[in-house]
Structure 1
Amino acid sequence: MSRARTIDAIRRVEDMLIEEGDPIAIYLCHLLLLQVASQMVAPPPASVDERRDVSHQAS
């Protein structure tokens, strides 16, 4: 599932939780949205080869 579809699914769940009025569940849903969104803007992790290149350049 793509991240955009994941966010849409989480938002649908959030809307249902808001209707039910469960503040703790809404808060946890917000935290989950923040986590997914932060992964979308973060650069991808470096591959093992890229990390080796950087460590050799530093030596």
Structure 2
Amino acid sequence: RLINEPSNDWDIYYWATEAKPAPAEFEHDVLDMLREFAKNRNREQRLRQPDLEYLFEPP
């Protein structure tokens, strides 16, 4: 519901980065996990999307 309900992706971005408070209806475990991911405490380099290996048949 989190990604289907807000008016646009910027709302989710602001809530995840805690730039703006999220409405009470979206304050739940999923948003907490997204916020924790956005903090990137281990300073991982996230420069590209992970490979989608499951889309391809093994050779």
TM-score (norm 1): 0.28
Q: Which has the larger radius of gyration?
A: 1
> Which fold has the larger relative contact order, with Cα–Cα distance below 8 Å and residues 6 or more apart in sequence?
1
Between structures 1 and 2, the one with greater helix share: 1
